[in-house]
Structure 1
Amino acid sequence: MKLTRLLIMSSVIAITTTLISGCATSGNASPQAKREVVQSMRAQTLKDLYVQKPDVQNQIANSAGYAVFDNANVNVIFASFGGGYGVVKNNRTGKSTYMNMGEAGLGLGLGVKDFNVVMVFHSEAALNRFIDHGWAFGGNADAAAKHKEDGGALAAEAIADDVTVYSLTETGLALQAVLKGTKFWVDTELN
């Protein structure tokens, strides 16, 4: 009985989080206004990352392309849910591809976290595979206790399959060790 209530509560939180995190690219705004919100998020995230890791700017400039996503995540005991939006930039063609993301996972965790992810694609094949297929699986273990400039967070950096991934925590309080799957897909309205 308690497990059933917990699962229902987790589902409600997940749906609410997904709706809230998707607000920037949903609603009555024009597609152009939505693209501007995503591009603004992209620019601010890169600026923040370059302050923390200045060498990433050169890495991105010399890459096949990169992606920047804003994501909100909720962890309740054994379940983790999240959603967000972002953009992939092909450095060779200059083309931007707007995408959405959703994730779910199992593991021990508790908390809510708003974070941004920057992915650097070191090959054209890795970039195209991400846009065309968009799946990412993996484990995640982190701790975050941050609100705006207060608190601290452990930012992750991972390298796999010609992609380097950086995670920057914006706000939140979370402690988690989760195995999760993330699905990225092209936003048909914004492309």
Structure 2
Amino acid sequence: MKKLISLLAVFMFVGCSADGDTPDEQRATILSMSEEVVADVEQESPGAKDIIMKAPGYAVFSNAQVNLLIVAAGTGYGVVHDNNTGENTYMDMYEGGVGLGLGAKDFRAVFVFKTQAAMDKFVEDGWAFGGEADAAAKAGDKGGQTSGGVTIGDIIVYQMTESGLALQATLKGTKYVKNDELN
């Protein structure tokens, strides 16, 4: 059990920051990732970019997740973009949960806020709680995933797996928080 906890701790701290030595470099990395992910979502779901750009705002996150038997953990980073003001809010994410699972995956998520209030609540409160069941097997351009975009209240969520192998069914909580160093 000590090895499991140590592995999860190392994983949590390795995956929680964007590449770059300075805040400017990290912000540039996050914005580049955001543009790539929006383009990828458009390729997978034609018309999605139009929905994203016409919404009051959207968020894009890069997340790494590991599931070891009954424990799940993940970390990531991203940006919330306000389409009305052009303002970016840089955020980190942390998640933990319980359930059956084995594997690790690196995925990207886009949250499209259908109302300004939903975006403001996400930036200020940042909590999400829910269940997840999926199967993903991907390396480079090979493989695929089973995990679709969903609408939850005033938020549309698109999720794409970058790489990894995971089979999981978990109940988890996710905390999104402003990154004080990047804002």
User: TM-score normalised by the shorter chain: which range applies?
Assistant: over 0.9
How many angstroms apart in 1 are the aligned matches of 2:101 and 2:131? 12
Deviation track 1:33-67 (CA, whole Å, cap 9, x = no partner) reads 11001011111111111110111111111111000
The one-letter code of the counterpart of 1:17 is F
The one-letter code of the counterpart of 1:132 is E
How many angstroms apart in 2 are the aligned matches of 1:31 and 1:151? 34
Tell me, yes or no, if the aligned pair for 1:113 and 1:172 is still in contact at 8 Å.
yes
Does 2:39 correspond to 1:18? Answer: no
How many angstroms apart in 2 are the aligned matches of 1:129 and 1:49? 24
Q: Corresponding residue for 2:142?
A: 150
Alignment of 1:13-162 (within 5 A): 13-24=7-18, 29-162=21-154
Q: Corresponding residue for 1:164?
A: 156
Q: Aligned pairs, how many?
A: 183
How many angstroms apart in 1 are the aligned matches of 2:150 and 2:70? 24
Could you list the runs of 5+ residues in structure 2 that have no partner in the other structure?
none
1:189 Cα deviation (Å)? Answer: 0.3
Deviation track 1:123-168 (CA, whole Å, cap 9, x = no partner) reads 0000000000000001000000101111111132121120011110
Comparing 57-66 and 80-89, the one that deviates more: 57-66
Q: Identity of counterpart residues, as a percentage? A: 44
Tell me, yes or no, if the aligned pair for 1:109 and 1:177 is still in contact at 8 Å.
yes
1:118 Cα deviation (Å)? Answer: 0.4
How many angstroms apart in 1 are the aligned matches of 2:131 and 2:14? 24
1:23 Cα deviation (Å)? Answer: 4.0
Cα RMSD after superposing both structures: 1.1
Give secondary structure in 2 for the equivalent of 1:79: strand
Tell me, yes or no, if the aligned pair for 2:17 and 2:76 is still in contact at 8 Å.
no
How many angstroms apart in 2 are the aligned matches of 1:168 and 1:94? 25
1:21 Cα deviation (Å)? Answer: 1.1
How many angstroms apart in 2 are the aligned matches of 1:98 and 1:24? 11
Give secondary structure in 1 for the equivalent of 2:174: strand
Tell me, yes or no, if the aligned pair for 1:10 and 1:79 is still in contact at 8 Å.
no
Higher helix fraction (1 or 2): 1
Could you list the runs of 5+ residues in structure 1 that have no partner in the other structure?
none
